[in-house]
Chain A
Amino acid sequence: MIGPSVLSSVVDARGRPLRLGRKLGQGGEGSVYELPAETDAVAKIYHQPLSKLRTEKLHAMVGMRTEQIDRLTAWPLEVLSLSTGVPIGVKMPRVVGHKDIHQLYSPKSRRTEFRRADWRFLVRVATNLARAFATVHESSTVIADVNHGGVLVGQDARVRLIDCDSFQVFDGAKNHLCEVGVPTFTPPELQGLLFANIVRTENHDNFGLAILIFLILFMGRHPFAGRYLGPGEMPIERAVRECRFAYGAARAEARMEQPPGTPALEVVSEPVALLFERAFARQGISGSRPTAREWIGALEALEGNLKQCADSPAHWHLSGLPDCPWCRMEAATGVALFSLAISPGAAGYFDVETFWQQVTALEHPGPVPALDEAVANARVRPSEDVLVFKQQYWFHGPLALFCGAATLALALFVDLPLPGRLFFFVSAFVLYFLVRRNLRMKEDISIFIERERRLRAQWDAVRAEWDAKAGVGAFDAKLGELNQLRTQWTALPEFREQRLRDLEASKSERQLNRFLDSFRIQPGEVGGVGTSRKSVLESFGIETAADVDEAKLYRVPGVSAKLRRGLIGWRRSIEGRFRFDPDLDSTPPDKETVEQEVLVERLKLEAAIRKGFTDLQQLQKQTLFARTSLKSKVEETHRAFQQCAADLKAVRR
C-alpha cells in the first residue's frame, strides 16, 4: 500500500512535484485527491504501483485525447509517478455538479435529486449518453465495463463517462483489455465468462448502452427483470443469458411478463422500440445490436415528437398515444414519477380515491381466530400428580367410610327404639362427612392451589398479549384514523371555500385595519407623545393607530390615564374618517395566504395518508405474524392452565 510519506513525493508527467490536497474518495483500486493548484482536475493515486501494462495503457489513453473526448468523459490527462519514477497514478478532469445516473432513473431519488427532470429531460439524457458512447467508439475504444456507476449526469442533462481507466483501448498496435464487468449490463454471450482474456467489442458495449437507455426511459426498470411464468428462479443474469426480454414482442414465448405497474414498450416511438428489440434479441449476439449512432437518431426523433399532458404539466409523452402513460402509472401506483417542482399549481398526482384502492386492497386481518376449540372444551383428566397425591392419602376415604358404616351398623343391627335408630342413622351420615372433611383439611393441597394460581396468572397474561397482538384493535384504529384523514382531504375544497368566506366576512375589519395602519404615531400629533415616549411605545409594538388598544397600552409603563385617553381618542378620530368600500376586493396577498394555507394543509394530509397507509401495512403484517408465532404458546399455556384447574378440582373432591 502507498503510505502518506509516499504521497508527498508524487510528480507530474514533466517531473514537477505535485501537491495533493484533501482526499475526495476511495475505491478498490486507489484514492482520489484534490489538487490545490488546479480546480478542474483531480489525482487518482493507486494503492499499488502501476504495472507496465497498465502504464502503457494510460500513456496510450493520454495520447488519444481529443476535445470531444474531454467534453464527454473524465479521460486521463497525464500519468503521475513517484519521484523515483515509478508510475503510481493519473490526473483526471474533475467532474463537478454531476450525480450518479441511478439517482436520475429511479423515480424516488429523481424527485429530490433532479427536480427539473421530466421525460423530455430523460430522453435527452439518453441521447447524450448515446453521443458519449459514439464518441468513445469512434476512437477505437470500448467502454467494456458498462454499468450504472460509470455515468454521471448534470442538471443540464449532459453526461460524463467516468472510470475511463478501465476502458478497453487500442493503441494502434494492441488492445489493452478490461478485466471487469457487471453482469446485469453484460451481453448474453459474455455472461458467466472471465473477462481477463476477452477482447470486448462495440457490439458488447451496445448491449450495455441499450440497458442504460431502457433504465432511463422506463422508470428505472431493468429490461430483463420481469415476472417469470415458468418454474424455478429467474435472476436477471439468467434472463439475460436466455434472452428473455420482459417487454419484448416475444415475451410470451420467453414465458416472461413485464412487472405490474410498468409502462409498456409502446411508450417509446416505434423506431426506438425496434432498437430495443434488436438490442436484446438473440440475433444481436452476432453483431447486429443497434450502434450508438443509431440510437442518437432514433432518440432525437422521439424527443421531437413529445407532447405535454393536458392534465399534468409534469408529464411529457409520445404524441399519438391514446392517453398519458405517466398519468396512468401514477394513478395506478400512487407514486409521483417526476418532481412536483416542475408542475407548480398542478392538482398533483395524489388522488385520494385512487390511493384508496390500495387501502381497500389491503386485506383486513379478520377477527381474532378462536383458539383451538377442541382444547378449550376438552375434558381434562387429572394428572399423574393427582394420582400420587390420592395414593398418599388413600386411607382417608375408607376411614371416613368405616366410621360412617360402623354407625350405620349400629342403627341397623342393634335393637334400639325407633328414635335411637333414627339418631344413629342420621349420625352415620353426619359422621362420614365430618370425618371426611376433617381428614381433607389435613391433606396438604396448597401445592395444587399455588400451581393453579400461577398458571391462571400466566394464562391471563398470555391471553391479554394474544388479544393485543393478534387482535384487530390497533389495525381498526389506524384504519379509522386513515378514514378520517381521507374525509379531511375530500373536504379540502370546502375548507378553502370556508377560508375565502372568512376572508370576505372580515373584509371591512381588514380594510379598517389597513387604513388605521397607515397612520403612524408622530411626536406632537397626540398630546403628551414626544420622541422618547414614541420610542417606548414602539418597543411595545405600538407604532400606528391600528396598534392603539386599551389592553396593550396598560402594559406600557409610564402611560398615564390621560395619555391613554388621548391616544384612544386619536384612534377614534381616525376611525371616524374610515369609509368601508364593499367593492374593493380582498387583496391578492390575502387570497394568496389562503391558497398557501390550503396547499400546506393538503400536503400535510397527503403525507399523513401515505404514512398512515405504511403503518397500516405494518400493522397488518404484525397482526398476522403474531397469530402464527404466538398460537402455540397460547395453546400450551391454556392447556397447562386447564390441567392445573382440573387437578385442583380433583384433589378437592
Chain B
Amino acid sequence: MSELEQIPFGASEFAENPEPRCPCLLLLDTSASMAGPPIDELNRGLAAFKQELVADTLAMKRVELGVVTFGPVHLLTDFQTPDHFMPPNLASAGDTPMGAAIAGGLEMIRQRKQAYKTNGISYYRPWVFLITDGAPTDGWEAAAEMVKQGEAEKHFSFFAVGVDGADMDVLGKISVRAPLKLSGLRFSDLFAWLSASLSNVSRSQMGQAVQLLPPGWAEV
C-alpha cells in the first residue's frame, strides 16, 4: 500500500468521485457592451444551467465547469462539478480581451487534464464555449492558432457563439467550427441546450463522437 503514502494535492475530489470527467469551459464576454439586458439574461441562464445539471445524477458527477470572464480577463471558477458551482452575478465592464481569455482558458484545460492523468481519472474531450457580443480588443491571432492546433490534435472542441453585435468574421477565424449566432437574448435556451448536450456526453462513451442536439437558440 505504498501508493497510499504520497497523495498529490487535489486527490480528495477524485477519491470521493472517481467518475470520468467531462470538462466544460465557458469563456464569457463581460465587456461594457454587454451591460443591461444581455448580462442579466446571461446571469439568469447560468443559474438555470446549474439547476439543470444538478438534476441529472450522472452529469452532476461527471461534468466539470470552469468559467473565465473577459473584460478584463478573470478566472471566475476553476473546473469543479456542478454541485460546487455557484452561479455568479456577472457585471459588465471594460474592453474585450478575447485573445488573453482564450489563451488562459486553454492553459487551464491543459492543467486540468494533467490532474486527471495524475489521478488516474479518465475524461471526455473538453468543450470550450466562447460567448461574446463584440470583437477582440487584443491580439487574437495567436489564440486562433492555439484553437486550430488544439482542435486538430483533438485536445478539445471549441464552439463560438456570437450575441447580437459580435464580429462573426473574427469569430469564424478563431473557431474551426462555424460560429453560431444567438438569436435575440435566448441565453436560457442556449444553456438548457448546453446542459442537455453535456448530459448526453456524460452518458456517452469516451472517444466517440457525440451527436449534438440541434441548437434551437441559434439563428439559421
Contact = CB atoms under 8 A, between A and B. Distances in A.
Interface of A: 100, 102-103, 106-109, 149, 182-184, 219-222, 225-228, 235-237, 246, 257-264, 266, 325, 328-329, 332-337, 357-358, 361-363, 465, 469, 614, 617-618, 621-622, 625-626, 628-630, 632-633
A361 B9 contact: yes
A221 B101 CA distance: 34
A100 B57 contact: yes
B107 A258 contact: no
Interface string B3-28: 11111111110111111100000000
A328 B16 contact: no
Contacts of A109: 57, 61
A332 B206 contact: no
B122 A625 contact: no
Given A236-B206, A626-B74, A220 B118 contact: no
26 contacts: A100-B57, A106-B18, A107-B16, A149-B203, A184-B122, A184-B205, A219-B15, A220-B17, A225-B120, A236-B20, A236-B206, A257-B3, A258-B3, A260-B11, A263-B4, A328-B4, A329-B4, A333-B12, A358-B12, A617-B78, A618-B78, A622-B76, A625-B68, A625-B75, A626-B75, A633-B72
A259 B103 contact: no
Contact of B18 (A184, A220, A363, A626): A220
A102 B19 contact: yes
B58 A237 contact: no
Given A259-B121, A260-B118, A465-B72, A329 B15 contact: yes
Contact of B72 (A182, A618, A622, A630): A630
Contact of A237 (B8, B17, B61, B207): B207
B111 to A, nearest CB: 9
A358 B9 contact: yes
Contact of A633 (B75, B103, B121, B138): B138
Nearest to B104: A629
Contacts of A629: 73, 75, 100-101, 103-104
B16 A333 contact: yes
B4 A221 contact: no
B75 A261 contact: no
B122 A628 contact: no
A259 B16 contact: no
Contact of A220 (B19, B76, B77): B19
Given A100-B57, A103-B57, A236 B122 contact: yes
Nearest to B13: A335
Given A261-B4, A362-B9, A632 B15 contact: no
B117 A227 contact: yes
B122 to A, nearest CB: 5
A258 B15 contact: no
Nearest to A103: B57
Contacts of A334: 12
A625 B104 contact: yes
A632 B100 contact: yes
A445 B43 CA distance: 47
Given A261-B3, A333-B12, 18 more contacts: A102-B58, A183-B207, A220-B17, A221-B120, A222-B122, A235-B207, A236-B20, A261-B11, A263-B1, A266-B1, A329-B15, A333-B16, A335-B12, A358-B9, A618-B80, A626-B75, A632-B100, A633-B72
A335 B13 CA distance: 8
Size band of the interface chain B makes with A: 35 or more
A621 B78 contact: yes
Contacts of A337: 16
A145 to B, nearest CB: 12
A108 B12 contact: no
A169 B14 CA distance: 39
A262 B4 CA distance: 7
B119 interface: yes
Contacts of A329: 4, 15
A608 B4 CA distance: 26
Contacts of B74: 469, 622, 626
B122 A235 contact: yes
Nearest to A246: B120
B206 A235 contact: yes
Contact of A106 (B6, B7, B17, B205): B17
Given A236-B122, A629-B73, A633-B72, A328 B206 contact: no
B45 interface: no
A622 B88 CA distance: 15
B126 interface: no
Contacts of B12: 261, 333-335, 358
A221 B16 CA distance: 10
Contacts of A266: 1
Contacts of A228: 117
Contact of B16 (A335, A358, A363): A335
A259 B11 CA distance: 9
Contacts of A361: 9
A65 B130 CA distance: 54
Contacts of B97: 633
Nearest to A465: B72
B177 interface: no
A183 B118 contact: no
Given A107-B17, A260-B8, A333-B15, A227 B72 contact: no
Contacts of B122: 184, 222, 225, 235-236
A622 to B, nearest CB: 5
A260 B205 contact: no
Contacts of A107: 15-17
